[in-house]
Chains A and B, each alone.
Chain A
Amino acid sequence: MKILVTVKLVPDTTADKRIDPATKQLVRSGVETVLNPFDEYAIEAGLQLKEKIGGDTTVTIVTMAPESGKEIVRKALAMGADDAIMISDPKAEGSDVWGTAYALAQAIKKNGFDLVLCGTQSTDSITGELPGALAEFLGVPGITHARKLEVEGTTVRAERETDNGYAKVTADLPLLVSVTKSMNTPRYPALKGIMGAKKKTIAIASLADSGVDKPVGHEGARTELIDLVSPPTRGKGEVFQAADAVAGATKIIEFLRERKLV
């Protein structure tokens, strides 16, 4: 079984981020790059399935990112994935959701797949739209926000998180699933894995090599950024003075009641 895990490289989640006012885009250079933390859950899900199913099951990492991110992709290999495909092409820069999803879909189709696993969102653009768009381009069902995942033969059973609970869904391979944080605890790359990852293949492909036959990047972007505004600054909080804890708690309860929050 061929499991592919899509992984985004993002600026360090704890770093201060800056938007370039001219391009209205996030400045991605000069900040340390890391694996999108949400994608570690998808990698872990893939590795656990591989361990369970065994046989000739493989886990391949797929990313669209500049070649300079190669060592970061290696972290995913150090966790235990078998190999990686990187779509690295200056012409990919400026890809919106459509472009990213289309390019990834073409590369994934070219490689062949049974199951595509995604994170639920990135920590930089955070649209959460990519998995849906990717499933569409791949022409397979997409189960988003899965918190539980089982594969038996070609049948996939999953639990989808919803606003007020979860839904049990069943579908057949080939399929795309996006994985939430509640599914598992990602493993740390083990020292043996780190050593082993040096010998694993990271195949770097241009857009053309990946079978991307339409313009993506700035040229193909179908999204136009019209304006950027900062969120309104929050009003000053209200400070209660109280003689003791009981009096303080009473005031807080009153406050919440007034707003029908309790």
Chain B
Amino acid sequence: MIATTFDALLRRDLDFQLYAMQGLGELVSRERYAEHDVETFASIIDTAYDVAGERFAPIAAELDAFEPTLRDGVVQTLPALAGALDAFVEAGFMAVGFDAKHGGMQLPHLMTVATQLIFSAANGPAAGYPFLTQGAANLLAVFASPEQQKTWLEPMIEGRYFGTMALTEPQAGSSLAEVATLAVPHADGTYRLTGNKMWISGSEHELSENIINLVLARLPGAPAGVKGISLFIVPKFALDPSGEATIRNDVTVVGLNHKLGQRGISNCALSLGDRGACIGYLVGQEHAGMRQMFHMMNEARIGIGAWATCTAYAAYRYALAYAKTRPQGRRTGAKDPTALPVPIVEHADVRRMLLAQKAIVEGGLAIVTYCARLVDDEHSHPDPAEREAAHRLLEVLTPIAKTWPSEHGCEANSLAIQVLGGYGYSPEYPVERLFRDQRLNPIHEGTTGIQGLDLLGRKVTLGGGIGFTLLLARMREEIARARADATLIKEADALAASVDRAEAVTAILVGAQRELGAERALANATIYLDALGTIVIAWMWLAQARVANERAANATDDAFYAGKRTTCRYFFRYELPKAAPMFDLLASLDDTTTALAIAEL
């Protein structure tokens, strides 16, 4: 192994989030994690950095340049990708969070997310294959029968089989109610599927022994809408009569989709059942497909937030290193034309761009790790009331944890290019690729528009608004803690006012749903998502600054902690104020978009 200086995701920051902010260390006292200790966590993260730094990061540019190709139904990927994924699998990273009874390592979800973060920062598209597999395996771990788990889940956890999520169809994207793939019961208890799936990531390649597609489809005569959708295992190789996965299933790659970014991960248009022989195995109950999908949605969406965070994080780290070494221009106001140029990091505007990125990526990291800890609490907190609270909080926070890092990640990635100037616009430097990669994140796993509707139209009022009320309470608890720190009183006050405003405007919008109808009240749901998201990230920054101050008590000259304080200040001065006009617009129930005639566009 060669020593690497892989720091696309700063280890110190990751450790800060995991231990100081989210208390990873205390989870070992839970029965579920009794086998583990903090040294084990550290060794696993060490290995993740080694594998990511040595096997994933070095091939990122090449993987982007070498898009998968389709020949005679076979999808070829960059040869070095197989080596990287083998190293990932051999080290056991696929198994991180799964139950020991299925061959998993039964580590906290925070550790699953930590490893996902490290690999995503090194090479997002390469990391996509195992993360899709983990997502699909998660579903099978909860809903598949014990035999199905033996046959399909365990080889996935071993990393021999990879998985996909095959939801989308050409006519059914945001609205999965339109799913039309048909699944007809067969005499032997299996099903025969026919239909078309679109945009399915990782659904064909030669990287694993088998590919387990989790497919949404309808039974004949199923109820219309989402209540008539069922979930099927549709493997690339289905079971022969002796129970071995040897039958090449009737799943045809009609074409590979070429993409702006994320080029290393194959993405296919699939045709199911061209020969009438596409074998599927029902997971759980008939018509329960969407409910099952939703069960795993929180974790999958937090995963996208993590992916987005790292795509921006890696670009920020690159831009920072570049800014320290690129000499250009002289200090503003300097008169001597013969003086040597200064590194661009000396210029206030470049610092502003770097701070803006740091605020987004470290704020994103804070919210995704906060949510990961909630997933742990939801699953393993000894107190049932805390488990319930974690679940409720996750319901409201998930659309934010998915969307805020995705949307603002695009902004951060754009700023990284700006820091490099013309060089940033060229494929010679990684910031261009990362910018393209990032653009996917506001689209898949529910577009930003859909997330906004989900938050304001559903999550905020779900269960009588319990989750939202809990969120307000959590933010106010942090405000109270921060007020005890004399250096943070201004920020604590600003956040308190914003939280009050969010509460009041939310009440207006919820009322308007009843009085003016959903269409008008939800017209600006995306803006609501952004405004509330900005407040949530401000909350994360206040907490980071407070914890940094506590930790820095004996190390006042520590630039890492000082950086947390400064970035908190930046966020409160430059970013949080943007929420107020958004709330003003929302409170006015503006009807510009609903009232306009299409011809006016």
Contacts and interface: CB of A to CB of B under 8 A. Distances in A.
A78 interface: yes
A198 B37 contact: yes
Contact of A40 (B1, B40, B43): B1
Given A71-B39, A198-B37, A198-B40, A191 B3 contact: no
A194 B5 contact: no
Contacts of A29: none
A197 B2 CA distance: 22
A192 B107 CA distance: 11
Given A188-B50, A188-B87, A188-B90, A194 B1 contact: no
B91 A191 contact: yes
Which bucket holds chain A's interface residue count? Answer: 20 to 34
Contacts of A197: 43
Contacts of A190: 47, 90-92
A141 interface: no
A175 to B, nearest CB: 26
28 contacts: A12-B3, A13-B3, A14-B5, A34-B3, A37-B2, A40-B1, A74-B39, A74-B43, A75-B43, A186-B1, A188-B47, A188-B51, A188-B87, A189-B43, A189-B47, A190-B47, A191-B96, A191-B107, A192-B92, A194-B43, A195-B35, A195-B36, A195-B40, A195-B105, A197-B43, A198-B37, A198-B39, A198-B40
A91 interface: no
A189 B91 contact: yes
Interface of A: 12-14, 34, 37, 40, 71, 74-75, 78, 186-192, 194-195, 197-198
Contacts of B92: 190-192
A203 to B, nearest CB: 19
A195 B36 CA distance: 8
Contacts, number: 54
Nearest to A78: B43
Contacts of A195: 35-36, 40, 105
Contacts of A34: 3
A121 to B, nearest CB: 15
Q: Which 6 A-B pairs have the closest CB atoms?
A: A191-B92, A13-B3, A188-B91, A194-B43, A190-B92, A190-B91
B95 interface: yes
B222 interface: no
B93 interface: yes
A162 to B, nearest CB: 24
Most buried by B among A37, A40, A75, A195: A195
B44 interface: yes
A14 B91 contact: no
Interface in B474-499: none
Interface in B1-15: 1-3, 5
Interface in B26-74: 35-37, 39-40, 43-44, 46-47, 50-51
Given A191-B47, A191-B93, 16 more contacts: A12-B3, A14-B5, A34-B3, A40-B1, A75-B43, A186-B1, A188-B51, A189-B47, A190-B47, A191-B44, A191-B95, A191-B96, A194-B44, A194-B47, A195-B40, A198-B37
Contacts of B43: 74-75, 78, 189, 194, 197
A192 B1 contact: no
A189 B3 CA distance: 15
Nearest to B83: A185
Contacts of A187: 90
Most buried by B among A12, A14, A188: A188
A13 B3 CA distance: 7
B40 to A, nearest CB: 6
Given A14-B5, A186-B1, A192 B47 contact: no
Most buried by A among B1, B5, B93: B1
Contacts of A14: 3, 5
Nearest to A181: B2
A5 to B, nearest CB: 15
B157 to A, nearest CB: 12
A37 B1 contact: yes
B109 to A, nearest CB: 15
Contacts of A194: 40, 43-44, 47
